[in-house]
Chain A
Amino acid sequence: MLETTALSVVWRHRALLWALTRRDIQNRYAGSVAGALWAFMHPLALLALYAVVFETVFKVKVPNLYMGQPYVLFIALALWPWMAFQEAVLRGTTAVQQNGALVKKVAFDHELLIYSSVLSCFAVHGVGFAVVLMVLGASGFNIHWLGLFSLLAFVPVLLLMALALALLLGALQVFVRDVEQLLSQVMSVIFYATPILFPMAIVPGWLAEAMHYNPLVHVIDPLRNAVLGQGSFDAESIARVALVSVIAFAVARAFFLRLSPYFEDMV
């Protein structure tokens, strides 16, 4: 193949990637009356629900370390990055299969299907995250706005992780349709193996040690801490997890490209 790196493929076909991503986003709201307004209403509704359940009904307080921080803020900061990641992997997994008509009739780089579906999830939940942050900030919650700069490091790493998984599973899904079924089960396990509903600090030592093999731990927890103004930015840790993500992406892409000539046989 002439195009060896993902970046050169993306750059050369940026118009197609943009069109596919746009289509993917439109797909969610196509035919609905409110259209793109849902992109704002959905996260707000979810936030309101969490606020009612955890603040009014359960009156949850985050244990000692985060004294004074409301639980709804605590959750929101981890939940939106998680939703972006989870949905990106799920949608990416079925992206090639769902675009079977295209794969069968048009010659193009199939990896763009994965990239566009992952990007569209990050875009939609990125907007949701921004809306939620603004609403929380306006409601007087104590947000460490400067901490948002750390997103510049965390989000690309999270994106790379999602891309790697989506490439791997998306290629596999074309041949083995069980992947999708299995994935939704595995995702709910990963949800609890990632510090979203709880801080890493309250996890008992032996379990924390096991959980450290989950790369998401090294992104979600520090990301939230940064925005809450807790702890310090651990550059070494993020560099390590970034390196792992880059390697994972390269391996997954090689796997995908190896199988992609045969997609047409199976979709």
Chain B
Amino acid sequence: MNDTLQPLIQLAGVGKSYPLVQKGGHQLAQVWSRLRGTEPSHVFKALQDISFDVYKGQSVGLVGVNGAGKSTLLKLIAGVVKPTAGRLERRGRIGALLELGAGFHPDYTGRDNIFLACALMGLSHADTQSRIDGILAFADIGEHIDQPLKHYSSGMVVRLGFAVATSVVPDVLITDEVLAVGDESFQKKCIVWMERFLDHGGTILLCSHSMYHIQKLCQKAAWIDKGQLRMWGDASDVTRSYLAWHEESARLDQNDALDQASLIADKSGVYHVKEMSLHWLAQDKSSVMQIDSEKELLEIQMGVDLSVRGRIFSPDGRVPQVTIGLVRADGTPVYGVVSEMDTHVLARGTDGLFGFQIDFHQLPLLPGRYVMRAHAMDPEGMRLFDHVERSFEITGEAREMGFCRLNHTWQSV
């Protein structure tokens, strides 16, 4: 059997629905429908039509907002929950760390709990006996091991839980946001364990809100949204799209406030941005690319020279100022500058319009989604009237963190 070709986990159209709580009598109806193999009448579809394969050595990260169904999916794969639709196949030993210390009982000693937890993982008494020294060494809780669990600190319980769960090296390890547990030194131990596990061809299936963890540990990622698989692919692509979507929805809330100011129906009496566009040279240098509407979203290669061009209308013929602002898609400010700061005076055109162009050289923005904004201001620079914005996405390969690449060099010292 070629175990690199055969997926360890195969999901085909997998779905899970939960019965909705009903008032009296319905429970019996539910039992009856389960016995007949039909679904109860009122269900909540926690997951629908999920399909993907997990191969050996290809760790998978699950992303999605709270309540999207990530945990349910992990439980399905762990075998705690059975799918109500579709086909789910698992090969190899699957270890689940859904909750550290699940199955632990507070009244029993650490040692007793180790035996029960190991038995739950399918170990015989003798198997556990042979592993117990390793578990005790890893958990490092000393003589407390013969004390009832209720006297343990939460850190000790977690350490014991991790030690037990990792005493059997699985083919697939399923974890639900438990990578960073315990104190500093124990975290280090966990990470070392994980890295060794991955180096030895282990596969991790994890659910995390930390895109950093997912990008670092996983090759593939699945984006779960409202119980459905919204995106499946390379971890970096999925996490980037997910973050962009996240940022966008955060910005939409913020924009509502700004839009109140722009809702003036008749703009002829106030300073406003009449036109705004972004220009840059295409990657093959053959053509100049341009964004001039709010709906467009073009990709811009990292490091190009980007120009922002536009015209401001002045109702009284006096020279207006313009503010150019750059924010991330979620509204986090990156950079802002007013023409007056650089003592630039806008050039007078016809019909009370004043043109401007600002060039950004070798745009150092890191990949992600951004918004360029232009605001019209009165000649005094006191009042900000409206804003017009253009969205774009910076593409490119960069493993650095943050918004922009600061010029730097490394020195040997």
Contacts and interface: CB of A to CB of B under 8 A. Distances in A.
Interface stretch (A151-159, A196-204, A209-217, A256-264): A256-264
Given A15-B125, A31-B107, A23 B116 contact: yes
B67 interface: no
Interface string B112-138: 100110111011110110000000000
B119 A102 contact: no
Contacts of A108: 120
B257 interface: no
A20 B116 contact: yes
Nearest to A23: B116
B31 A176 contact: yes
Nearest to B128: A15
Contact of B105 (A16, A23, A104): A23
Interface residues of A, number: 31
A27 B75 CA distance: 28
A31 B119 CA distance: 23
Nearest to B25: A176
Interface residues of B, number: 34
B35 A105 contact: no
B102 A102 contact: yes
Given A15-B119, A30-B108, A175 B31 contact: yes
Interface string A22-40: 0100110011000000000
Given A30-B107, A255-B35, A264 B120 contact: no
Interface in A230-267: 255, 258-259, 261-262, 264-266
B98 A26 contact: no
Contact of B123 (A15, A30, A102, A262): A15
A240 to B, nearest CB: 29
Contacts of B302: none
A259 B31 contact: yes
A19 B116 contact: yes
A44 to B, nearest CB: 26
A16 to B, nearest CB: 4
Interface of A: 13-16, 18-20, 23, 26-27, 30-31, 101-108, 172, 175-176, 255, 258-259, 261-262, 264-266
